[in-house]
């Protein structure tokens, strides 16, 4: 299975360099989960992958902030660092593409935030979620079992439980912020932790990705 994944666009003006960043652990996680990653490094490449229907699933990766004008929705004005407008164009087109042909889409951290905002939600600044870990206790409908687990957390903005967009259900929350949500009738899932940042990948994350993506 070929899975398109968004990347961060990096600009280093001191060296007149521009490039793309994707945690190399994503490749390891993909291999462990049984799929092949296609980094979507430009708007034109994303458009080509969509036009040719080359990708069978989508991951909106984490890292960086969304602009306050993402899909003309509200975001706190102080959130102005690490804005990547090309990436936002790609994210919007990928979400639209997923809706049109109903292929699986997983949003990771910022990716879940983009998904929520696309559907009309807003983000709020949160505390006790940056460079920390916490315990989640929930029922996972994808895996059809109850789970108690520890996850990482690297975000200073989040979706509050009162701001979950229409069509989505909260699967688990922590301190009134959504940690996982899924769409009622579309193949869309959002999680706020980073599976790829674990020293040892969680078997639960691998199982979740395989089940949600339909990998046998």
Write out pLDDT tens, residues 60-118.
Answer: 999 887 876 664 444 444 444 556 788 898 999 999 999 999 999 999 999 999 999 99
* Residues 82, 155 contacting (CB under 8 angstroms): no
Q: Does position 201 have pLDDT exceeding 60, yes or no?
A: yes
Taking only the tens place, the pLDDT of each residue in 2-59 is 999 999 988 777 878 888 999 999 999 999 999 999 999 999 999 999 999 999 999 9
pLDDT score, position 12: 77
Question: How confident is the model at residue 76, as a pLDDT?
Answer: 44
| pLDDT score recorded for residue 63 | 85
Structural domains of the chain in order of their starting residue, each with its CATH number: 2-213 (3.40.50.880)
Q: What is the pTM (predicted TM-score) of this model?
A: 0.92
From residue 165, alpha-carbon distances to 20, 120, 168, 215 in Å are 30, 6, 6, 28
What sign for the dihedral angle of Cα 12, 30, 191, 205? negative
Per residue in 147-191, pLDDT tens?
Answer: 999 999 999 899 999 999 999 999 999 988 999 999 999 999 999
Contact call for residues 72 and 119 (beta carbons, < 8 A) = no
């Amino acid at each position: 299975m070929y899975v398109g994944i968004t990347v961060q666009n990096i600009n280093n003006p001191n060296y007149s360099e521009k490039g793309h960043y994707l945690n190399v652990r994503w490749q390891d996680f993909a291999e462990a989960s049984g799929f092949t990653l296609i980094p979507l490094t430009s708007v034109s490449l994303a458009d080509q992958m969509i036009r040719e229907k080359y990708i069978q699933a989508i991951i909106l990766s984490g890292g960086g902030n969304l602009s306050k004008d993402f899909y003309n929705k509200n975001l706190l004005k102080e959130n102005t660092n690490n804005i990547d407008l090309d990436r936002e164009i790609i994210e919007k087109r990928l979400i639209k593409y997923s809706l049109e042909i109903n292929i699986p889409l997983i949003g990771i951290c910022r990716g879940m935030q983009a998904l929520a905002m696309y559907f009309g939600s807003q983000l709020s600044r949160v505390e006790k979620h940056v460079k920390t870990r916490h315990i989640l206790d929930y029922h996972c409908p994808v895996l059809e079992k109850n789970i108690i687990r520890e996850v990482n957390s690297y975000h200073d903005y989040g979706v509050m439980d009162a701001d979950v967009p229409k069509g989505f259900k909260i699967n688990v929350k922590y301190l009134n912020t959504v940690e996982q949500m899924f769409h009622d009738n579309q193949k869309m899932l959002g999680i706020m932790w980073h599976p790829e940042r674990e020293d040892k990948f969680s078997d639960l994350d691998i199982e979740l990705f395989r089940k949600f993506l339909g990998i046998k």
